[in-house]
Amino acid sequence: MTSMASQSIRRQLQKIYSKIMARYGPQHWWPAETPFEVIIGAILTQSAAWSNVEKAISNLKYAKALSPEALRQLSQSEVGKLIHPCGYYNVKSVKLKTFAHWLGEHYEDSLDKLFANDIGLLRQQLLSIYGIGEETADSIILYAGNKPVFVIDAYTRRIIDRLGLTSETHSYTAYQMLFSSNLPATSRLFNEYHALLVRLAKDVCRKAPLCQNCCLNNMCVSLLDSKKTTK
């Protein structure tokens, strides 16, 4: 990629951020009281609406089960009953207990020790745990560990694709590099940018988009192309 092309992408990404921030303001993500709660939420939100994740987390809190030690002491079926509202509770109960056992075995339940690792090693270790893929690992690193890695999810992909910024490979890494290579690598910026993209996707850039209400409609390649085909 040429220097001029890179500068153009940087300007576009900065403009996108400024426009969404002006529309919605700071999002104050991740909604959790502790880093461990962030991790639990990142695992539970897989294929689930956040409102249902909140119900599951409330159940865990009420049962005093929102800690690695407590999760290890509960049976899989007991955890499953508590997290039932978020769906796929049998599988997710295994994921939660697996992480709790792993954290105890490798880091004596200390998230401070876990997050003392550099991003590369931390990501590698998280990806080795059953039930943690790239999006979940990066959510944990960014939102629980406060380390600068950009989270890529279905919402981000949808917006980037419609804006015409998609790479040829369509890989997770390619989407992630679009942001990490063209923006200052700060956890605060990556946190806010990702949260704003999610807000935009849920509000207007839906599967059936409400383009007339979108603050990015004058930048959207997909919208411009659809207008050309209707002429």
Amino acid identity of residue 25, one-letter, is G
Radius of gyration of the chain (CA): 19
> Looking at residue 196, which CATH number applies to its domain?
1.10.1670.10
Place of tokens 């409102």: 51
Q: What is the pLDDT of residue 159?
A: 97
Among 126, 144, 162, the domain-final residue is: 144
Among 101, 121, 144, the domain-final residue is: 144
Q: What is the pLDDT of residue 1?
A: 56
Of 170, 169, 96, nearest in space to 136 by CA: 96
Backbone phi, psi, residue 220, to 5°: -85, 115
Bond prior to 30 in cis (omega within 30° of 0)? yes
Residues 63 and 135 in one domain: yes
What parts of the chain have a pLDDT lower than 70? 1-5, 225-231
Positive or negative: CA dihedral 39, 71, 81, 64: negative
pLDDT digits (tens, 9 = 90+) for 165-174: 998 889 999 9
Find the domain containing 186 and state its range: 3-27+151-230
Residues 39 and 134 in one domain: yes
What is the tally of structural domains in the chain?
2
Q: Give Cβ neighbours of residue 171 (< 8 Å, ≥ 6 apart).
A: none
Residues 48 and 136 in one domain: yes
Among 121, 144, 167, the domain-final residue is: 144
Q: What is the pLDDT of residue 78?
A: 98
Note whether 68 and 103 are within 8 A (CB). yes
Q: What is the pLDDT of residue 143?
A: 98
Backbone phi, psi, residue 185, to 5°: -80, 80
Distances (CA, A) of 133 to 11, 42, 74, 95: 31, 11, 24, 11
Residues 177 and 211 in one domain: yes
Residues 164 and 111 in one domain: no
CA distance 170 to 167: 6
What burial class does residue 137 get, using C-beta atoms within 10 Å of its C-beta: 0-12 exposed, 13-18 middle, 19+ buried? buried
